[in-house]
């Protein structure tokens, strides 16, 4: 599975990248990449709208557990220091939009029809609560990332339960975002998943990602999906990501 180019773009800003992940820092941004043959432009959603919608903020569909965990981690994004203004805390929230690519790899321009309909897979359903409701937080010090995931009714696989592919998608999203924070632009090389217990539709789960090791271009990550109190294990996974260059993606 390839990481979305929007995520890869964020990696370009390293080492300042982690500081730019807060909800308040979402400026219109455009990067031009020139080759002898093409001029390819990658743009964040803000290139299409002056006020892009951040879908990782609370909405009316979020249940009590989703909101509780969101507030728990959000409260650790800023800390109060006596006699000083609030400072950056150990956790940072990663904003999430519904699209990121204006041009296809190789510089082939997308038609206006396709361009207007293109959406990141986890954000291609805009009805609140219907599919993927999630928010990601990263902790650079502990080298951890967490995803709070509320499962919508359109993700059904086995009757009344979440499709295994939807769970895999969220694991790839959390671990891939984590690897990007650690290593810059990456692509998934391997994803091994062990499903331990089915997840009921409408439930909120916690997806926790931890760094195992880094070797040259390789980033190894472990992940587990649990209940919100951590007592029930739903899924375990390991992932390998390879660092890549921008020219590798835009080579056609």
Burial class (CB in 10 A: 0-12, 13-18, 19+), 251: exposed
Which of the pair, 250 or 201, is modelled with greater confidence? Answer: 201
At residue 243, the pLDDT reads 94
Mean pLDDT across the chain: 80
Note the pLDDT tens digit of each residue in 1-42: 444 444 444 443 443 333 333 333 333 333 333 333 332 333
Please tell me which of 12-16, 158-162, 247-251 the model is most confident about, judged by mean pLDDT.
158-162
Cα–Cα distances (Å) from 216 to 174, 178, 242, 243, 246, in that order, read 21, 17, 9, 9, 17
Catalytic residue numbers read: 172
What the block records as the tokens of 199 is 């997840």
At residue 183, the pLDDT reads 93
Rounded to whole angstroms, the Cα distance separating 57 from 86 reads: 21
Rounded to whole angstroms, the Cα distance separating 89 from 76 reads: 5
Residue 49 has pLDDT above 80, yes or no: no
% of the chain exceeding 90 in pLDDT = 60
Note the pLDDT tens digit of each residue in 68-115: 999 999 999 987 776 677 789 999 999 998 876 554 454 455 566 666
Residue 126 has pLDDT above 90, yes or no: no
Residue 145 has pLDDT above 90, yes or no: yes
Which of the pair, 40 or 175, is modelled with greater confidence? Answer: 175
At residue 206, the pLDDT reads 98
Residue 250 has pLDDT above 60, yes or no: no
Residue 170 has pLDDT above 90, yes or no: yes
The three-point CA angle 125-126-132 to 5° equals 55
At residue 110, the pLDDT reads 59
């Amino acid at each position: 599975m390839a990481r979305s180019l929007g995520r890869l773009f964020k990696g370009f800003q390293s080492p300042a990248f982690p500081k730019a992940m807060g909800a308040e820092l979402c400026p219109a941004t455009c990067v031009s990449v020139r080759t002898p043959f093409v001029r390819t432009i990658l743009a964040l959603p803000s290139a299409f709208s002056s006020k892009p919608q951040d879908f990782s903020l609370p909405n009316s569909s979020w249940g009590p557990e989703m909101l509780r965990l969101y507030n728990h981690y959000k409260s650790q994004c800023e800390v109060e220091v006596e006699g000083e203004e609030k400072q950056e805390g150990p956790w940072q929230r990663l904003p999430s939009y519904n699209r990121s690519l204006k041009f296809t790899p190789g510089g082939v321009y997308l038609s206006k029809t396709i361009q207007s309909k293109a959406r990141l897979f986890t954000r291609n359903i805009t009805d609140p609560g219907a599919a993927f409701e999630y928010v990601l937080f990263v902790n650079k010090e502990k080298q951890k990332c967490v995803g709070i995931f509320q499962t919508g009714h359109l993700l059904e696989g086995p009757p009344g339960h979440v499709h295994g592919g939807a769970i895999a998608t969220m694991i790839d999203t959390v671990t891939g975002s984590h690897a990007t924070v650690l290593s810059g632009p990456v692509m998934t090389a391997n994803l091994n998943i062990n499903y331990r217990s089915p997840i009921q539709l409408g439930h909120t789960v916690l997806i926790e990602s931890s760094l195992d090791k880094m070797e040259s271009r390789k980033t190894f990550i472990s992940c587990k999906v649990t209940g919100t109190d951590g007592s029930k294990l739903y899924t375990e996974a390991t992932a390998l990501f390879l660092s890549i260059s921008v020219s590798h993606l835009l080579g056609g």
